[in-house]
Amino acid sequence: MKRVSPSDVIRSLIASAKRVADECDAEAVLLLADVPFEFSEMTQILKKSRLVVASDKPDVQRAAHEDGIDSVPLLHEPQTRSLQVTQALLEAIADDLLQPGGKVVCVYSLFERDVLDTVSIVNLADQLSRLTARDLRRLETTVPLETLRLVVDLAVEVGREGREGKSVGTMFVVGDHRKVLPMTHEQVHDPFKGYGAKDRMIRSPRVQESMKEIAQLDGAFIISSDGQVRAAGRNIDAPATGLTLSKGLGSRHWAAAAISKQTKAVAIAVSESTGTVRIFQNGFVVLRIEPMERGLKWSSFETEPPPSDDK
């Protein structure tokens, strides 16, 4: 692997990133690198500012590792540079290299491939909420976006706020309820039993409040595509065969993955220990939302930055 010494222009770009990071109190400088730089030369310029490297190239990841620099792997797939930056930020948060509420200065090539040309400040809370909304739209699912949004909002609130000072974990299984229900059994007595359709619609703030209360009980909410709670307190029996999940995820998350694999439902798990919300589809985590200080903003994501060259 031939290391690349940063050119004078790149050095001055890194020095600018450092000044910006100092000025806005950013917690790190995130570099999207396509070549194995001499990263230690960059850390000398950055001094106390922490460098995090993101790349889809194994030799770049190796170089960062050799220089003792935190790095996050990116998926090698065609996507815009802005999506890659977002992916890098999410990975870094998941690996505890960045905090969801902080600011990060990102350095990457936007206009020309392999040429570092851009420094930007990212406010992680804002960026993550926009990303979530955008990504939710991309999910190809039979569940209407409106229903999905309501459930994701509720899940994020449960993960962020907990209940009466205690953290709460729970699960929502949305869509394909006719197939889902027979793959579950009663874990606790269903608090929604006996209620009419009107009193089960998740768009009702009153129902949302009840659900936050019920979320403290064991078991999952089963919700139909039209946004009606069909049952609560259900234990998911779907087999988890043939699934792979990240280390550290326990039985709740395995059950969510399993039911999303066996049916067309989307399963949304809120982790009691971290407040993280994971959305499962077809047995995989398709979206992960870290707990944020502020709520999601669904309205402010209509514009997307211009695409860079196709990578």
Ligand X SMILES: Nc1ncnc2c1ncn2[C@@H]1O[C@H](COP(=O)(O)OP(=O)(O)OP(=O)(O)O)[C@@H](O)[C@H]1O
- Is residue 186 part of the contact set for ligand X (CB under 6 A)? no
**Residue found by looking up tokens 């280390």 in the block:** 247
Region for residue 3 given its phi and psi (left: phi exceeds 0; alpha: psi -120 to 50; beta: otherwise): beta
Contacts of residues 241-247 at CB distance under 8 Å and 24 or more positions apart, as own/partner, are 242/283, 243/283, 245/285, 246/285
Q: Residue count at the site for ligand X (CB under 6 A)?
A: 16
Instruction: Report the residue from 18, 177, 252, 311 that binds ligand X according to the rule CB under 6 A.
Output: 252
Q: How far is the CB of 289 from ligand X (least distance, A)?
A: 14
Say if CB 180 and CB 222 are below 8 A apart. Answer: yes
Phi then psi for 204, rounded to 5 degrees? -80, 125
Contact 169, 252 (CB under 8 A): yes
The smaller minimum CB distance to ligand X, of residues 200 and 253, is found at: 253
CB of 240 to ligand X, least distance (A): 9
What minimum distance in Å lies between the beta carbon of 207 and ligand X?
A: 20
279 binds ligand X (CB under 6 A): no
Alpha helices in the chain (DSSP H): 8-23, 39-46, 58-66, 81-94, 124-138, 145-161, 177-180, 205-214, 251-262
145 vs 249, which CB is nearer to ligand X?
Answer: 249
> Does 93 participate in binding ligand X (rule CB under 6 A)?
no
Nearer CB in complex with ligand X: 52/245: 245
The total of other beta-carbon atoms located within 10 Å of residue 288's CB is 17
User: Is the Cβ of residue 113 or residue 185 nearer to ligand X in the bound state?
Assistant: 185
291 binds ligand X (CB under 6 A): no
Give min distance, CB of 127 to ligand X, in A.
24
Query: Rule CB under 6 A: is residue 271 a binding residue for ligand X?
Result: yes
Q: How far apart are CA 102 and CA 28, in angstroms?
A: 9
- Of 6 and 233, which CB lies nearer to ligand X in the complex structure? 233
207 makes contact with ligand X (CB under 6 A): no
| Residue whose CB is less far from ligand X, 17 or 245 | 245
Q: In what order do the strands lie in the sheet with 229-236?
A: 184-186, 229-236, 220-223, 170-174, 266-270, 277-281, 284-289
Considering the rule CB under 6 A, would residue 251 count as an interface residue with ligand X? yes
* Residue 263 binding ligand X, by CB under 6 A: no
Among 5, 241, 273, 303, contact with ligand X (rule: CB under 6 A): 273
| Residue from 272, 283, 289, 308 binding ligand X (CB under 6 A) | 272
Please check whether residue 150 is in contact with residue 224, taking contact to mean a CB–CB distance below 8 angstroms: no
List of residues contacting ligand X (CB under 6 A): 169, 171, 218-220, 235-236, 249-253, 255, 271-273
